[in-house]
């Protein structure tokens, strides 16, 4: 072993000190050491000093996060068993581990910020859903069934049907598409406009509408061929002044909302498929996703309810009183102006409040909870976990009660605070900061 | 030096590595050196990307690895493309040609 290799080996060992030793990890380390040594020797031959050459070789490592995801960091966990470190955010039950935003089983990541992976049965990643090992897929290009979907990607779609509806007398609008990607946008007029884009034109495929009673409008997708796949895209343009109920049901397909200003009470049910909402002002918003992720960015509401079964919920810049629930998948909500109730079964909860305007309640089963609030917030707090530790990192805290898994008190010398922060967990740690 | 945008290359690293291994078994740094040489230094595959892709390809049985017997210096793990990998590469190349053509049509075409 030469001097360069020894130095590189030492540095690599230090880098991986937090990972559990395994054959797999040792092999990877050996490969990296061999590569970096060769790079450093090349650099030295180009005229660099030994120390510089080694530094240069380490620059070639790049961002190791994705690569290291497969390897388990467990030193923290071992520590927890012995010392019950309050700061610790790992929970382990056998091979099943929950740390920060991630749920793992052995070496495998089941759910994190971007994905849910239950093996070939169900994978949800970056907004695409894959069931039955590719048999059923939903992604940015639409929905495909069966493995043979090449060629669909660049299929041309033409606007084949444009329907307009007068909503003046309507206070209950229901739109039902089963398999199509749907875009909701602003209508420039007072009318509801639905544009249907399809790869083949056939009037049988056009939407059908019925008025039920004198106030409900029900719109349903037309026929879809069973044998020959037709690619579709639906654009719904909703008038800004429509201030009543609007329900969109979509079974297998994405829902996108972009630049929408609506006074309506909008309910989206996306059974299999991701929902993405950006730059929207919606009075009341309900989103339910069975399998698929939810991404919201710059959304202002009075009240919003976001419910997901399998899939992550990622929100940035949201205003309103929120109710967010998830079964499997992490929850990350940043820059909140408002208040709310947040529940998660398997997956972490990460909340970052810019301004608190009401009570904050969180509860989780498996998964850590992290709540960040403004420094000067006056509030009462209760943090409790059955197995994980709880910690309060705020600067000014008056404790009424303080133990490893239960703390109660006031923030910032509040005597009669308006708001309460209440966080509960069964197996995860809780952190207020 | 000008270098190619990461976004453009990201979806194609599997194809790039398969096509290099299709020319013969190789190990980590040798693969990234080949990429660097082929692109006159305009694209540098870092170690993290390289091994992330290696591991993914191996998991999908597109490549296999074996420890080589190096008499000089350290022992090397070599990667070898499999029949499945060759098939994936062929499919990738067809898709790539197709995508290239269509994207060109879109961005260069004027109605």
Interface of A with B in 140-179 (CB under 8 A): 150, 154
Name A235's bridge partners: A183, A195
CA distance A134 to chain B (A): 14
Report yes or no: B100 at the A interface, CB cutoff 8 Å.
no
Closest by Cα among B75, B83, B65, B110 to B22: B83
Identify the band that residue A132 occupies on the pLDDT scale cut at 50, 70 and 90.
Answer: low
Residue of A nearest to B29 (CA): A35
Comparison of pLDDT for A312 and A113, the residue scoring more: A312
Q: If you average pLDDT over residues B50-65, what whole number do you get?
A: 93
For A67, the closest chain B residue by CA position comes to: B52
Exposed, middle or buried by CB within 10 Å (0-12, 13-18, 19+), for B69?
A: exposed
**How far is residue A87's CA from residue A80's CA, in Å, rounded to a whole number?**
9
Residue with tokens 């919920």: A313
Chain A, nearest residue to B45 by Cα: A60
Which pLDDT score is estimated for A113?
Answer: 56
- Closest partner residue to B74 (CB to CB) among A5, A28, A60 is A5
Characterize the bridge pairing of strands A96-99 and A102-105: antiparallel
CB pairs under 8 A between A and B: 59
The percent of chain A in helix, strand and coil, each rounded to the nearest 5, is 15, 55, 35
Residue range B29-43: average pLDDT?
A: 89
User: In this predicted structure, what is the pLDDT of residue A87?
Assistant: 38
**How far is Cα A51 from Cα A34, in angstroms, rounded to an integer?**
17
Across the range A375-381, mean pLDDT stands at 90
Give the residue from chain B lying closest to A153, CA to CA. Answer: B99
Q: Return d(Cα B80, Cα B36) in angstroms, integer.
A: 20
In which element (H, E) is residue A36 found?
helix A23-45
Q: Which two tokens stand for residue A18?
A: 């937090």
Instruction: Provide the pLDDT for residue A115.
Output: 64
The average pLDDT across A70-88 equals 51
Chain B contact set for A154 (CB, 8 A): 98-99, 102
Partner A contacted by B60 (CB < 8 A): no
A37 contacts B47? CB cut-off 8 A: no
Which one of A31, A41, A151 makes the best mutation probe of the B interface by having the most chain B beta carbons within 10 Å?
A: A31
Q: Which of A31, A39, A65 sits opposite B77 (nearest CB)?
A: A31
Q: How far apart (Å, rounded) are the C-alpha atoms in residues A295 and A306?
A: 10
- Token pair, residue A361, equals 């309640």
What confidence tier does A333 reach under pLDDT thresholds 50, 70, 90? very high
The distance of B55 to chain A (nearest Cα, Å) reads: 9
CA A72 to CA A62: how far, in whole Å?
A: 20
List pLDDT tens digits, range A19-56. Answer: 888 888 999 999 999 999 999 999 999 999 999 999 99
The rounded distance, in Å, linking the Cα atoms of A188 and A133 is 42
**C-alpha angle with apex A325: A86 to A69, nearest 5 degrees?**
55
Q: Best interface-test mutation with A: which of B6, B34, B35, B47 has the largest number of A CBs within 10 A?
A: B47
pLDDT greater than 60 at residue A178: yes
Between A204 and B8, residue with greater pLDDT: A204
Per-residue pLDDT reduced to its tens digit, B64-81: 999 887 655 567 899 999
Is residue A148 pLDDT above 60, yes or no? no
Q: Measure CB to CB from residue A60 to each of B46, B73, B77 and give the nearest one.
A: B46
pLDDT value, residue A211: 87
Would you say residue A292 has pLDDT above 80? no
Assess A39–B contact: CB distance below 8 Å, yes or no: yes
Mutate to test the interface with A, among B7, B29, B70, B73 (most CBs of A within 10 A): B29
Share the mean pLDDT of chain B: 86
Element (H, E) at A384: strand A379-385
Contact at CB, A34 and B29, closer than 8 angstroms: yes
Task: Outline where DSSP puts E strands in A55-199.
Answer: 90-93, 96-99, 102-105, 108-111, 115-117, 122-125, 128-131, 136-139, 142-145, 158-166, 172-177, 182-187, 191-198
For β-strands A136-139 and A128-131, DSSP reports them as: antiparallel
| A81 pLDDT higher than 50 | no
Longest C-alpha distance within chain A, in Å?
A: 86
Residue B27 confidence class, pLDDT cut points 50, 70, 90: very high
Q: Looking at beta carbons, which residues of chain B come within 8 Å of A150?
A: 95
Evaluate if residue A107 carries a pLDDT over 80: no
Confidence of residue A291 (pLDDT cuts 50, 70, 90): confident
Query: Given an 8 Å threshold on Cβ–Cβ distance, is B51 in contact with A32?
Result: yes
Contact assessment for residue A378 and residue A397, using Cβ atoms and an 8 Å cutoff: no
- Tell me the shortest Cα–Cα distance from A64 to chain B, in angstroms: 5
A82: pLDDT confidence band, cut at 50, 70 and 90? very low
Crossing angle of the two packed helices A23-45 and B47-59, in degrees rounded to 10 = 140
CB contact under 8 A, A66 and B77: no
Angle between helices B83-108 and B13-21 (to 10 degrees): 130
**A250, two tokens:** 């979509």
Of A144-158, A385-399, A410-424, B18-32, the range with the lowest mean pLDDT is A144-158
Strands (E) located in A8-121: 90-93, 96-99, 102-105, 108-111, 115-117
Exposure of A256 in the CB half-sphere (CA atoms within 13 A): 15
Q: Which of A31, A66, A150 lies closest to B28 in CB terms?
A: A31
Instruction: Give the residue from chain B lying closest to A28, CA to CA.
Output: B51
Predicted local confidence at residue A153, as pLDDT:
40
Q: Is the pLDDT of residue A84 over 60?
A: no
- pLDDT reported for residue A85: 37
Q: Which residue has the higher pLDDT, A168 or B8?
A: A168
Chain A CB contacts of B78 below 8 Å: none
CA angle A72-A73-A77, nearest 5°? 115
Q: How far is B99 from chain A (nearest CA, A)?
A: 8
Sign of CA dihedral A15, A18, A23, A25: negative
Residues of B in contact with A117 (CB under 8 A): none
Predicted confidence at residue A77, as pLDDT, reads: 46
Distance CA A369, CA A313 (A): 14
For residue A83, give how far its alpha carbon lies from the nearest alpha carbon of chain B (Å).
Answer: 34
Q: Which residue of B has its CA nearest to A59?
A: B46
Q: What percent of chain A has pLDDT over 90?
A: 36
Contact by Cβ (8 Å): B8, B2: no
pLDDT in tens, A366-376: 888 999 999 88
| pTM for the whole structure | 0.56
């Amino acid at each position: 072993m030469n001097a360069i290799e020894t130095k590189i080996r030492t540095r690599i060992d230090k880098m991986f000190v937090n990972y559990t030793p395994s054959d797999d990890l040792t092999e990877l380390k050996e490969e990296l050491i061999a590569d970096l040594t060769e790079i450093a020797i090349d650099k030295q031959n180009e005229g660099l000093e030994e120390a510089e050459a080694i530094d240069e070789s380490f620059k070639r490592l790049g961002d190791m996060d994705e690569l290291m995801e497969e390897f388990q960091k467990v030193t923290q966990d071992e520590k927890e068993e012995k010392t019950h470190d309050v700061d610790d955010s790992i929970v382990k039950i056998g091979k099943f581990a929950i740390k920060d935003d991630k749920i793992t089983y052995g070496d495998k990541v089941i759910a994190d910020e971007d994905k849910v992976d239950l093996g070939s049965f169900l994978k949800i990643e970056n907004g695409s859903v894959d069931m039955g090992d590719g048999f059923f897929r939903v992604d940015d290009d639409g929905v495909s069934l069966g493995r043979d979907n090449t060629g669909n990607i660049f299929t041309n779609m033409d606007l084949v049907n444009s329907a307009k509806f007068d909503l003046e007398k309507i206070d209950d609008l229901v739109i039902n598409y089963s398999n199509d990607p749907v875009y909701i946008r602003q209508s420039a007029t007072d009318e509801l406009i639905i544009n249907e884009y399809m790869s083949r034109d056939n009037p049988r495929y056009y939407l059908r509408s019925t008025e039920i009673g004198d106030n409900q409008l029900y719109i349903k997708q037309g026929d879809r061929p069973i044998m020959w796949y037709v690619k579709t895209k639906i654009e719904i343009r909703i008038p800004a002044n429509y201030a009543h109920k609007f329900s969109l049901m979509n079974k297998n397909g994405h829902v996108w909302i972009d630049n929408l200003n609506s006074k309506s009470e909008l309910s989206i049910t996306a059974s299999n498929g991701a929902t993405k909402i950006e730059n929207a002002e919606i009075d009341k918003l309900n989103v339910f996703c069975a399998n698929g992720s939810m991404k919201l960015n710059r959304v202002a509401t009075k009240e919003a309810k976001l419910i997901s079964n399998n899939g992550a919920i990622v929100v940035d810049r949201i205003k309103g009183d929120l109710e967010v629930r998830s079964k499997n998948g992490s929850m990350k909500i940043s820059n909140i102006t408002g208040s709310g109730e947040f529940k998660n079964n398997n997956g972490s909860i990460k909340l970052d409040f810019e301004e608190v305007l009401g009570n904050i309640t969180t509860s989780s089963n498996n998964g850590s909870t992290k709540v960040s609030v403004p420094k000067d917030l006056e509030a009462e707090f209760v943090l409790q976990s059955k197995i994980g530790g709880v910690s309060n990192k705020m600067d000014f805290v008056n404790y009424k009660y303080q133990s490893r898994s239960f703390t109660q008190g006031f923030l910032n010398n509040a005597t009669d605070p308006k708001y309460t922060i209440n966080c509960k967990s069964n197996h995860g740690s809780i952190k207020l900061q | 030096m000008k270098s190619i945008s990461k976004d453009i290359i990201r979806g194609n690293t599997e194809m790039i590595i398969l096509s290099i291994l299709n020319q013969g078994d190789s190990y980590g740094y040798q693969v990234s050196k080949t990429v660097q040489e082929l692109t006159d230094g305009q694209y540098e595959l870092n170690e993290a990307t390289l091994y992330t892709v290696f591991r993914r390809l191996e998991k999908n049985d597109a490549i296999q690895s074996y420890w080589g017997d190096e008499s000089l210096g350290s022992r090397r793990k070599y990667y070898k493309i499999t029949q499945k990998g060759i098939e994936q590469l062929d499919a990738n190349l067809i898709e790539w040609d197709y995508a290239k053509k269509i994207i060109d049509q879109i961005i260069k075409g004027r109605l």
